[in-house]
Amino acid sequence: MSSDFAIDASGLSKRYPLYNNPSDRLMSLLWGRKQTQDQSFWALQDVNLQVARGEVVGLVGRNGAGKSTLLQLLCGTIPSSSGQLRVQGRVAALLELGAGFNPDFTGIENIFMNGAILGMKRHEIEQRLDEIVEFADIGDFIHKPVKTYSSGMYVRLAFAVATSTDPDILIIDEALSVGDGAFARKSFDRIMRLKEAGKTIFFCSHSMYQVEALCARAIWMEKGRVKMDGNAADVTSAYAASLNAPTTPTPEQEAAAAPAPSGTGRIIKAVARTRTEQGSEVKVLSGKSDLTIDISFEIDPHLPAPGVAIGISDANGTTVTSAISVNDGVVVPVDAQGRGQASILFKKFSLLKGSYWVTCFLTSEDGLHPYDQVLHCLRLNVTQEGTEQGFVSLPRDWITAAAPADR
């Protein structure tokens, strides 16, 4: 196995024995009675994986696909059943919420204990204690037993400790989905700084937007095996297509008028419009119809003006095109209550015939952190007059001339 990689796995597998009743389990423990292959569950099978130092890798897949098992093997919290694995460098992991915390210890006491588990010396923890406490931002609860914490407090403290250890490898398993919007944004910013510092990051998430924003490479797990490993955009598109376009939400209907949660924002309405109709599904004539997409949102008014983005995908889930206000240098206005609307106009819509889905995003002002996304919320049924093939009709000019006379 090569020493050039932060993570190098070959034939990695994890098998769990299955028992018909408790007595079988007892006999296995006492006398080593072995289970047959039919009495086993392979959570992971024959995984070959190499991750270079400084690489940022996303991990996607359905629940039960083997993602968490793979991450636990990488962290060393469970042993493999077969195969080889080499992990080089200090690993910090956010797996199960609050793992490694003693519920009867205070937050401060757990910082010292968890920091020691992660390989930090006591004087290193003392030097970083104020920074950890400030980042966790849980107030006086830092001096109370963690068994009194909410799930959000758990993840704040766990993330603050794990990322303060200056890890060589950071492994994250959906931990950020538990925190509130403001903390998720702050955590994502810290992950970006670790990425810029050249740390190796393994990021497991159900948010395809976050995977694409953070990772250059992604791995798609299915039934305990690696189904696809490659460019993040290609992998997430293929994975999204496999989900068979779930039943679409209807953001065309107004959301409740309650203000957006502190530190985040949400999309409250999305509408597609042509000159003849509007709604969540419209007909468009390629090269002829003007198409407008209106996105209404609300955001914590204390936050900077957000970014608005859309992605258009075909029936197979392949992203055909996207548009992001931040990339286009557009500042989206927001009123004093945090409400706003952005509209994007496609003149003489150039996609060729087919059915397309529109996914809408509301992001932070730099376009990196998604506050909200609504998957496949609008449908475009595109027809055309000509016989062109492909996805798009590109602008063009024909230059013709008579054949030059022979000299």
Query: What's the average model confidence in pLDDT over 30-56?
Result: 77
CA pair distance 401, 146, nearest whole angstrom: 81
Q: State residue 375's pLDDT score.
A: 84
Q: Which of 382, 381, 379, 361 is nearest to 370 (CA)?
A: 361
Q: State residue 247's pLDDT score.
A: 43
The enclosing H or E element of 124 equals helix 122-136
Higher confidence at residue 392 or residue 177?
392
Provide the terminal-to-terminal Cα distance of the chain, rounded to the nearest Å: 68
Say what the pTM is.
0.65
Lowest mean pLDDT of 302-311, 315-324, 376-385, name the range. Answer: 315-324
CA pair distance 326, 344, nearest whole angstrom: 13
Query: What's the average model confidence in pLDDT over 87-99?
Result: 75
313 CB-side CA count, 13 A: 21
- For 322-356, the DSSP string reads EEETTTTTPPPP--TTSEEEEEEEETT--B-SEEE
> Is residue 400 classed exposed, middle or buried when 0-12, 13-18 and 19+ CB atoms within 10 A define those classes?
exposed
Q: State residue 389's pLDDT score.
A: 87
Convert the pLDDT of each residue in 147-185 to its tens digit: 898 877 888 888 888 888 888 998 888 655 555 667 777
> Is residue 6 classed exposed, middle or buried when 0-12, 13-18 and 19+ CB atoms within 10 A define those classes?
buried
Query: What's the average model confidence in pLDDT over 48-57?
Result: 93
CA pair distance 122, 380, nearest whole angstrom: 59
**How much of the chain, in percent, has pLDDT values that exceed 70?**
85
Convert the pLDDT of each residue in 237-259 to its tens digit: 788 777 644 444 444 444 434 45
pLDDT at 81 > cutoff 70: yes
Q: State residue 25's pLDDT score.
A: 60
pLDDT at 371 > cutoff 60: yes
Beta strands in 174-273 (DSSP E): 200-204, 217-222, 225-231, 265-273
Q: For residue 145, give the DSSP letter.
A: B
**How much of the chain, in percent, has pLDDT values that exceed 90?**
42
Query: What's the average model confidence in pLDDT over 116-131?
Result: 88
Query: What's the average model confidence in pLDDT over 368-381?
Result: 88
Lowest mean pLDDT of 10-14, 178-182, 262-266, 299-303, name the range. Answer: 178-182
Query: What's the average model confidence in pLDDT over 274-296?
Result: 94
CA angle centred on 50, ends 238 and 78, rounded to 5°: 95
Lowest mean pLDDT of 17-26, 28-37, 303-312, name the range. Answer: 28-37
Lowest mean pLDDT of 33-42, 163-172, 323-332, 366-375, name the range. Answer: 33-42
Q: For residue 102, give the DSSP letter.
A: -
Convert the pLDDT of each residue in 2-22 to its tens digit: 567 999 999 999 988 776 666
Q: State residue 96's pLDDT score.
A: 60
pLDDT at 286 > cutoff 90: yes
Q: For residue 366, give the DSSP letter.
A: T
- Token pair belonging to 190: 């810290």
Q: Give the CA diameter of the chain.
A: 99
Mean pLDDT of the chain: 84
pLDDT at 260 > cutoff 90: no
Q: Which of 100, 108, 163, 162 is nearest to 130 (CA)?
A: 108
* Per-residue burial over 136-157, b = 16 or more CB atoms within 10 Å of its CB, e = otherwise: bebeebbeebbeebeeebbbbb
Beta strands in 18-150 (DSSP E): 40-52, 56-60, 82-87, 91-94
Domains of the chain: 5-242 (3.40.50.300), 265-383 (2.70.50.60)
Q: Decide: helix, strand or coil at residue 148.
A: helix
> What count of residues does the chain have?
407
Q: Decide: helix, strand or coil at residue 360.
A: strand
